Amino acid sequence: MNRFAVPVSRGITRVTDAALGPYQAAVIRIGFAGTWLLFLLREFPDRQEMYGPDGPWSWELGRRIVADNHAFTALMWSDSQVWFEIVYALAVLSSVLLLAGWRTRTMSVLFMVGVLSLQNRSVFMGDGGDNVIHLMAMYLVGTRCGRVWSLDARRVRLAGEARARGEASRAAGPDRVGPVLWAVLGLLLAAVTAAGHLGAGWSAVFWGLWAVQALWWAVGHRARTPQPRILLDVIANVVHNAALFVIMAEACLIYATAGWYKIQGSRWQDGTAVYYPLHLDYFSPWPALSDLLAAHGTIVMLVTYGTVVVQVAFPFTLFNRRVKNVLLAAMMTEHAVIAVVLGLPFFSLAMIAADSVFLPTPFLRRLGGLAARARDRFLPGGGAKLPGQRARGPRTPEGTEDAHVGFSA
């Protein structure tokens, strides 16, 4: 019995003691927020035709399908032009702030609201990458994705360093922005609920998230003993680890499903499937490049069979780090090629962001170090240390204290 009890207890301790994969969660946050932001900016001139009142999928058609599938979209609350512009602007703003890691708990919820509002308004828009962003936007709400590479992490670090030096600073002082943000969003949520725009399910979701924010702040600032804060940290870690596991499972399911469906297709079996999209005008932004690739039958055959092999095999390689990393690099390269050759940049960016959850931590930390050195080189003073601040090497977020600075990671 003890032979099984020890590994089980270690596993429970690992899942509850820390938010696993902080760098992976951060790169997913940055990847999906950046992808959605670039999409919104690129489609800004055509936003009216895609999601607004001038679109072929009219507001009345949108209202009917939402009434049937009970999907959430704030754009169904009003058909006015002003309301559409407000929602679109908030979607852009929440993407920017989530990308920077400012109040990530709150911004992840607002990011989800923006994604669902636009995508559920016009369900036939998108190229496949929108489905990935749709799912990941909901999963991100459960993650502690601001523990590293974020303004939240920077604020926590500065507050801890100031307290360690016995100095008073704005970073170490009471958090005022968080409660104000919480109060404003609470008033807006109350107004929306009173107007009857939220169904029972979505009302429970948003009010539950709002109440969790209040509980987190209250325990972090009013609890007289550390036990309540420890309990909340354990719950947050469990939710984060579960959400990260779901993201990984979702990515594996996408590849496994795509691979096994390809195996059943005759064109994939004879090695010619890649040839045909290269001759479609819609998927040929660079016709000369498409023709060049299509003219080499061996390349077409290798890419066709290689795609199937990689997609089917990847979920089975997760327990072999070296093989997994090779296939991961192959899949990311494949998506980069798809972005250029087939003209699907946002689908490819969304899939690369999803793949990033499997990137090894040492690689991500080296990548972060390179980014920091590039920042210091091109932004003089960007990496300057505060008076009395000591140089320090990379550290894991688990060593960072005061996770209860309001509405942050």
pLDDT recorded at residue 62 = 87
Q: State how far the alpha carbon of 335 is from the alpha carbons of 63, 183, 198, 342, in Å.
A: 35, 42, 38, 10
Residue 134: which of 254, 294, 288, 282 has the closest Cα? 254
Amino acid identity for residue 97 in this structure: L
pLDDT exceeds 50 at position 179: yes
Q: Are 295 and 274 in contact (CB under 8 A)?
A: no
- Dump pLDDT digits (tens) for 339-352: 999 999 999 999 99
Q: State how far the alpha carbon of 403 is from the alpha carbons of 54, 162, 175, in Å.
A: 46, 15, 13
pLDDT exceeds 90 at position 29: yes
Tokens describing residue 79: 């058909």
pLDDT recorded at residue 1 = 54
pLDDT recorded at residue 159 = 83
Report, in angstroms and rounded to the nearest whole number, the Rg of the chain calculated over CA atoms.
23
Mean pLDDT of the chain: 86
Q: Are 178 and 103 in contact (CB under 8 A)?
A: yes
Q: What is the mean pLDDT of residues 327-344?
A: 93
DSSP SS3 for 177:
helix
pTM of the model: 0.89
Residue 110: which of 82, 139, 136, 141 has the closest Cα? 141
pLDDT exceeds 50 at position 136: yes
- Dump pLDDT digits (tens) for 229-277: 899 999 999 999 999 999 999 999 999 999 999 999 899 999 999 999 9
Q: Are 193 and 201 in contact (CB under 8 A)?
A: no
DSSP single-letter state for residue 391? P
pLDDT recorded at residue 388 = 38
Q: What is the C-alpha separation between 315 and 285, in angstroms, rounded?
A: 32
Q: What is the C-alpha separation between 233 and 222, in angstroms, rounded?
A: 15
Burial class (CB in 10 A: 0-12, 13-18, 19+), 4: exposed
